[in-house]
């Protein structure tokens, strides 16, 4: 049986198959890479929050009450939070949360308060972050946001870690939760930057592969023509 397919049709079908294959592999690589990068960012935030939390005395911060923002003890905790936060340029804010018996979450300290009283949380203010499950889980282990979220203070990715009753001789009783924020924009830009590289590589591969198919197809056709003339 003689194939009636033209050379042009074969080349286009081959190019289409190559695009499908490379496109599928690129999509798979992009998805896998994005998941790995997201996990890496969350793990990094959790690790940072966990280390910072070990430096805070939980027995002191749980005693803060509304109106203590100007007290020496409150300002000392704020100073420590700022010092710890300064070790990572990606952290915008560090604060301490209290999980109440009714499972509501309120602020105990916000390291932005002294410089920006209107743009920061006061003692006793209710947290509106949608990370309630992550915050509850942080009573026993470091956790982090699954995805960026938005409150009246901005858009963030956050990490949380348990604060024990004492820095030096803790008996393991969790008194509060330390939280740190990373800008959602920084997080998105970081994720996009890594993902774009994979997509660009895939696109270039498609162009080169399709170009090679048509180039070799054309060259082979020319060789057949030359062979026919010689005969």
Task: Give the model's pLDDT for residue 1.
Answer: 47
Within-domain flag for 67: yes
pLDDT digits (tens, 9 = 90+) for 165-190: 766 656 667 889 999 999 998 888 77
Within-domain flag for 25: no
Q: Which has more pLDDT, 47 or 32? A: 47
Task: Give the model's pLDDT for residue 176.
Answer: 94
Pairwise CA distance, residues 99 & 122, whole Å = 15
Of 133, 116, 120, 147, nearest in space to 177 by CA: 133
Whether residue 179 contacts residue 171, with contact meaning beta carbons closer than 8 Å, is answered with no
Count of structural domains within the chain: 1
Task: Give the model's pLDDT for residue 178.
Answer: 97
Task: Give the model's pLDDT for residue 162.
Answer: 95
pLDDT digits (tens, 9 = 90+) for 196-212: 666 677 677 767 766 77
CATH number for position 141: 3.30.450.20
Average pLDDT score, the chain: 82
Residue 95 has pLDDT above 60, yes or no: yes
Within-domain flag for 85: yes
Q: Which has more pLDDT, 160 or 1? A: 160
Within-domain flag for 202: no
| pTM over cut 0.75 | no
Within-domain flag for 219: no
Task: Give the model's pLDDT for residue 2.
Answer: 46
pLDDT digits (tens, 9 = 90+) for 47-76: 999 999 999 988 889 999 999 999 999 999
Task: Give the model's pLDDT for residue 53.
Answer: 93
Within 10 angstroms of residue 108's Cβ, the number of other Cβ atoms is 27
Within-domain flag for 129: yes
Whether residue 81 contacts residue 51, with contact meaning beta carbons closer than 8 Å, is answered with no
What are the CB-based long-range contacts (under 8 Å, 24+) for 102-105?
A: 103/132, 103/136, 105/129, 105/132, 105/135, 105/177
Task: Give the model's pLDDT for residue 130.
Answer: 94
Q: Which two tokens mark 231?
A: 């005969």
Within-domain flag for 32: no
| Domain interval for residue 143 | 40-190
Within-domain flag for 178: yes
């Amino acid at each position: 049986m003689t194939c009636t397919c033209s050379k042009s049709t074969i080349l286009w079908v081959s190019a289409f198959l190559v695009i499908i294959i490379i496109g599928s592999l690129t999509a798979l690589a992009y998805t896998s890479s994005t998941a790995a990068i997201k996990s890496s960012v969350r793990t990094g935030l959790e690790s940072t929050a966990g280390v910072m939390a070990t430096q805070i005395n939980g027995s002191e911060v749980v005693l803060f009450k509304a109106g203590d923002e100007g007290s020496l003890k409150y300002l000392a905790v704020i100073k420590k939070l700022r010092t710890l936060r300064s070790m990572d340029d990606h952290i915008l804010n560090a604060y301490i949360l209290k999980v109440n018996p009714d499972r509501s979450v309120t602020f105990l300290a916000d390291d932005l308060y002294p410089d920006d009283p209107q743009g920061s949380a006061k003692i006793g203010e209710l947290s509106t972050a949608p990370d309630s499950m992550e915050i509850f889980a942080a009573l026993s282990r470091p956790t982090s946001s699954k995805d960026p979220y938005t409150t009246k203070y901005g858009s963030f990715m956050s990490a949380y870690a348990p604060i024990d009753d004492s820095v030096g001789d803790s008996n393991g009783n969790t008194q509060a939760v330390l939280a740190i924020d990373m800008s959602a924009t920084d997080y998105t830009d970081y994720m996009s930057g890594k993902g774009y590289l994979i997509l660009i590589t895939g696109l270039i591969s498609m162009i080169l592969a399709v170009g090679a198919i048509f180039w070799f197809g054309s060259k082979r056709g020319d060789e057949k023509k030359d062979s026919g003339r010689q005969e």
